[in-house]
Structure 1
Amino acid sequence: MIKVSDAAFAHIHKLRESENLDDSYGLRVSVEGGGCSGLTYKLDFDNAEQPGDQVIEDKGVKIFVNMKSLLYLVGTELDYTGGLSGKGFHFSNPNASRTCACGESFSV
C-alpha cells in the first residue's frame, strides 16, 4: 500500500541511528489539512500502534497510518533525495491530482 524506496530506507536507518532509536521505531505517516494545495504530509518516528491504525511494513520499516490518511496514501512511494534542490523526503502519490511547486502539499 505504501512503499519505501531504497534511498528513503537508507536515510530512515541513518536518522534512527542519529536519534538513538532502535529498529522497533517505524514511521507515522499522516495527511493533514493545510498547505497551498489543501493537504500536507506529516512524517514522524513512532513505535506504538494507535487504535484505528493500519500497520504496513516495507523493507523492514513499519509504517503506521490512520485509516483516514490511508485513503489518500494508497499506492504512494516515500523517496529521499539528497541533492541541492529538493533535499529531503518526497511522496510520489498517484492519488494526488495537483501538487504545489514545493511538493509539500497536494489535493485529490
Structure 2
Amino acid sequence: MTDLMTHGVNLTETAADKVRRLLDQEGRDDLRLRVAVQPGGCSGLIYQLYFDERQLDGDAIRDFDGVEVIVDRMSVPYLDGSTIDFEDSIQKQGFTMDNPNAGGSCACGDSFH
C-alpha cells in the first residue's frame, strides 16, 4: 500500500488491552480492529466495530502499541476525534464510542446522527 492515511479515532489503553486479549483468544495476529459508520439504527447512523484481515484502498490506519485501528475513507469524517473505550461494570460490558461529531443519539447508544 502506498501513502497510508491516518485517522483521528483514539483507542484508550483499556480498550487496546481488551482487543489484544480478544486477538490472543482467536490466535490471530493478522487482524485489525475496523471501525465504520453505516446507515441504520433509530437515529440514522450506527457504529460497527469488528476484526478485519483486509486493508482496502483509502483505509486510514493508526497503531496503538501493536493494536491497529482501521477506518474506511467514508467513515473518517464522522469519526474524527472519537474515542473508543471498553467498559466492564455491573451495568454494562462492551466497547463504547465517545463521538464529538454526533448531533444526538438514541437511548440504546448504538445509533447517532
Same fold (TM over 0.5): yes
- Pair 1:92 & 2:95 matched: no
User: 1:86, CA displacement in angstroms?
Assistant: 2.5
Q: Deviations over 1:50-73 (max 9, x none)?
A: 111111222332111111111100
Q: 2:10 aligns with which of 3, 14, 31?
A: 3
The equivalences for 1:1-108 within 5 A come to 1-22=8-29, 24-107=30-113
Equivalenced residue count is: 106
Q: Which runs of 5+ in 2 are unaligned?
A: 1-7
Deviation beyond 3 Å, 4+ runs, structure 1: none
- Specify the alignment match of 2:3 in structure 1: none
Q: Deviations over 1:25-57 (max 9, x none)?
A: 221110001111110001111233111111122
* TM-score (structure 1 length as normaliser): 0.90
CA contact (8 A) 2:20 2:67 kept: no
* TM-score (structure 2 length as normaliser): 0.87
**Percent identity of equivalent pairs:** 38
CA contact (8 A) 1:80 1:90 kept: yes
Q: Secondary structure at the match of 1:31?
A: strand
User: 1:105, CA displacement in angstroms?
Assistant: 0.8
Specify whether residues 103 and 59 from structure 1 end up closer, same or farther in structure 2 by C-alpha distance, changes over 3 A only: farther
Q: Secondary structure at the match of 1:78?
A: strand
Bigger fraction of residues in strand: 1
